[in-house]
Amino acid sequence: MNHFTLLKKKHQKDIYSKLDVLSENISLIKVSCYDYIGYNIYDGDVLIIDKNAPLYDGAKVFVKIQDKECIKIYRIIGDFAYLQTSFSCILPVEIGDLKYEIMGVITNVVRCFSKSMIN
């Protein structure tokens, strides 16, 4: 099941008009699951993803790993980059070992209290 959907154009325009960003660098993705509560991201939230934002240690990133979209924490440990879950009991995975594509840094999360805001 796909837990993420690109926001409809009419809703993208509403959010872009309230943000001081260039829309060609930004994706708005709706979350449709409770799998990311550890990241403080909930069902119905909208992720603002900047594909040109610089990566930094601790950044929440939207990433495609072996054709599955997910959210991870980007970590730099020594000279190596890792992807980590929100659960500290699970060790980070070295990026070099994965077939992955970092789609961008999650710069903000829009908490949607009303389903009509995003349907």
Structure tokens of 115?
A: 């389903």
Indicate the number of domains in the chain. 1
User: Phi and psi for 45 in degrees, rounded to 5?
Assistant: -65, 155
Q: pLDDT value at position 105?
A: 96
Structure tokens of 91?
A: 């060790």
Q: pLDDT value at position 28?
A: 82
Domain containing residue 109: CATH number? 2.10.109.10
Domain that holds residue 14: 4-117
Q: How many CA atoms lie within 13 A of 8 on its CB side?
A: 6
Structure tokens of 58?
A: 């601790």
Average pLDDT, consecutive stretches of 10 residues, N- to C-terminus, the chain (119 residues): 62 58 74 86 89 93 88 90 78 71 91 57
Q: pLDDT value at position 111?
A: 85
Q: pLDDT value at position 89?
A: 66
Distance, CA of 52 to CA of 70 (rounded, Å): 18
